[in-house]
C-alpha cells in the first residue's frame, strides 16, 4: 500500500470521519446464521457497492445519510468545456482527499474470503480501488478506476497521479484556496463541491500530453455504458458461483441489478446485505439490513472451508 494512504483526513479540508462500526444485534446474528446455512458449501460471487466504502469515510450516493446530488453525465462532460472545467476542478480536490482513504474491515474480509477459496470473483461498482489495497486479486472494477485517466481523443491512459501533478503546475495554490473556500461535499467518484464559483471558474484544465485531446477520469459516468468485456467477465463470475452475495449496493442502476436478476433466473440463492432498501430486494433469497463491514467480517470468520 502506498505510504500516503494513511487515513481519510487532509489538513484544512472538512472532516469526513469513518463511521464507527455498529455492533451486530441479535437479529443481525440470526440473519447471518441463516445466510451461513444457505451458502455453506458454495463458492460465492461477491458484488460490492458504495455502502461498503462508507466505513472508510467515503460517502455514497443513495445511503440513508447521503446528500442528494446529481452527478455529471458523460454527455454533459463531453459537450461543454465549462462542464469539464468545473468537473476537473472539483475532481482535483476530491482526488487529494479520496486517495488517502484506507480499506476497512469489510474490504479485508472480502480479501480473506478470496484467500480461502470461497469466491469465484469479486465484482465492485466502486472506483476507489480499496479492494485491491486490501489484498483482493480477482477483482472486476465494473465502473472503472479513479486512479487512471483516459484521453477521449487518442485513447492513451495516464496515472491519476501524473495528471494531478500537471494540474498542480497549471493551478498553483488552487488546493490551498479551495481549502479556505470550504469543502462541503464529497462523493464516491472523487467529486467535491466548493462554494467559491470564481475559484472554480479560474481553473485551468490539463489536456492529453500526446495529442492535446480531452482527458477524462477512467471510470464509467452516468449515461455511459460499462465496457462489454467487464460485463461478460462479471456474468462468468456469477455463472461459476453457487450463490450471489451483494454487499453495500442499492442496485439502483442496471449495471449491478442485471447480475442479481441473472442469478435469480438461474435459480441461485441471492443474498443482499445493505443498510436500506435496494432495487433487487424482490429477487433476494435473504435480505439483511445490517452494517456491511461487520457482516462480511462475520461471514469471513464463520463460513466453513469448502
pLDDT tens for the chain, residues 1 to 306: 333 332 333 333 333 444 445 667 888 999 999 999 999 999 999 999 999 999 888 876 554 454 445 678 999 999 999 999 999 998 898 887 777 889 999 999 999 999 999 999 999 999 999 999 999 999 999 999 989 999 999 999 999 999 999 999 999 999 888 777 655 456 555 666 666 778 889 999 999 999 999 999 999 998 999 999 999 999 999 999 999 999 999 999 999 999 999 999 999 999 999 999 999 999 999 999 999 999 999 999 999 999
Looking at the 3D structure of the chain, how many domains does it have?
A: 2
Domain boundary among 219, 240, 257: 219
Per-residue pLDDT of 18-45, as tens digits, reads 444 566 788 899 999 999 999 999 999 9
Query: What local confidence, expressed as pLDDT, does residue 197 receive?
Result: 79
Asked if residue 114 and residue 90 are part of one domain, the reply reads: no
Place of cell 497549471: 170
Asked if residue 150 and residue 39 are part of one domain, the reply reads: no
Which among 122, 95, 96 is positioned nearest to 108, based on CA atoms? 122
Is 143 considered catalytic here?
yes
- How many C-beta atoms surround the C-beta of residue 143 within 10 A? 24
Domain assignment present for 109: yes
Asked if residue 112 and residue 78 are part of one domain, the reply reads: no
Asked if residue 209 and residue 79 are part of one domain, the reply reads: yes
| Active-site residue identified among 92, 143, 262, 289 | 143
Asked if residue 139 and residue 149 are part of one domain, the reply reads: no
Domain boundary among 194, 219, 244: 219
Q: Tell me the CA distances in angstroms from 257 to 246, 251, 281, one per residue in order.
A: 10, 5, 10
Query: What local confidence, expressed as pLDDT, does residue 137 receive?
Result: 97
Give residue 208's domain range. Answer: 65-100+145-219
Per-residue pLDDT of 237-250, as tens digits, reads 999 999 999 999 99
| Parallel/antiparallel/unpaired status of strands 270-273 and 286-288 | parallel
Asked if residue 191 and residue 72 are part of one domain, the reply reads: yes
Domain boundary among 219, 239, 256: 219
- Spatial contact of 292 and 274, defined as CB atoms under 8 Å apart: yes
Q: How far is CA 168 from the centre of its chain?
A: 25
Query: What is the Cα–Cα distance from 74 to 78, expressed in whole angstroms?
Result: 6
Query: What local confidence, expressed as pLDDT, does residue 275 receive?
Result: 92
Asked if residue 214 and residue 235 are part of one domain, the reply reads: no
Amino acid at each position: 500500500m502506498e505510504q500516503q494512504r494513511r487515513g481519510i483526513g487532509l489538513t484544512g479540508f472538512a472532516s469526513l470521519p469513518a463511521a464507527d462500526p455498529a455492533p451486530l444485534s441479535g437479529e443481525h446474528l440470526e440473519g447471518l446464521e441463516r445466510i451461513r446455512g444457505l451458502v455453506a458449501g458454495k463458492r460465492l460471487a461477491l458484488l460490492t457497492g458504495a455502502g461498503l466504502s462508507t466505513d472508510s469515510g467515503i460517502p455514497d450516493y443513495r445511503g440513508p445519510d447521503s446528500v442528494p446530488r446529481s452527478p455529471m453525465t458523460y454527455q454533459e462532460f463531453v459537450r461543454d468545456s465549462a462542464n469539464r472545467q468545473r468537473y476537473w476542478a472539483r475532481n482535483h480536490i476530491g482526488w487529494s482527499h479520496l486517495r488517502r482513504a484506507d480499506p476497512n474491515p469489510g474490504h479485508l474480509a472480502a480479501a480473506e474470503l478470496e484467500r480461502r477459496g470461497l469466491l469465484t470473483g469479486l465484482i465492485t461498482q466502486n472506483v476507489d480501488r480499496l479492494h485491491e489495497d486490501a489484498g483482493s486479486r480477482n477483482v472486476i472494477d465494473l465502473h472503472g478506476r479513479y486512479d487512471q485517466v483516459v484521453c477521449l481523443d487518442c485513447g492513451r491512459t495516464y496515472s491519476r497521479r501524473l495528471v494531478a501533478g500537471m494540474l498542480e503546475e497549471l493551478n498553483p495554490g488552487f488546493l490551498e484556496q479551495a481549502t479556505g473556500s470550504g469543502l462541503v461535499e464529497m462523493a464516491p467518484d472523487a467529486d467535491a463541491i466548493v462554494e467559491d464559483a470564481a475559484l472554480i471558474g479560474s481553473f485551468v484544465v490539463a489536456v492529453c500530453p500526446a495529442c492535446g485531446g480531452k482527458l477524462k477520469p477512467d471510470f464509467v459516468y452516468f449515461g455511459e455504458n460499462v465496457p462489454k468485456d467487464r460485463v461478460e467477465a462479471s456474468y462468468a463470475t456469477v455463472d461459476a458461483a453457487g450463490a450471489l452475495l451483494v454487499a453495500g449496493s442499492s442496485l439502483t442502476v442496471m449495471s449491478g441489478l442485471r447480475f442479481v436478476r441473472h442469478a435469480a433466473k438461474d435459480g441461485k440463492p441471492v443474498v443482499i446485505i445493505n443498510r436500506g432498501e435496494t432495487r433487487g430486494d424482490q429477487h433476494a433469497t435473504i435480505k439483511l439490513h445490517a452494517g456491511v463491514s461487520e457482516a462480511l467480517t462475520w461471514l469471513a470468520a464463520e463460513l466453513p472451508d469448502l
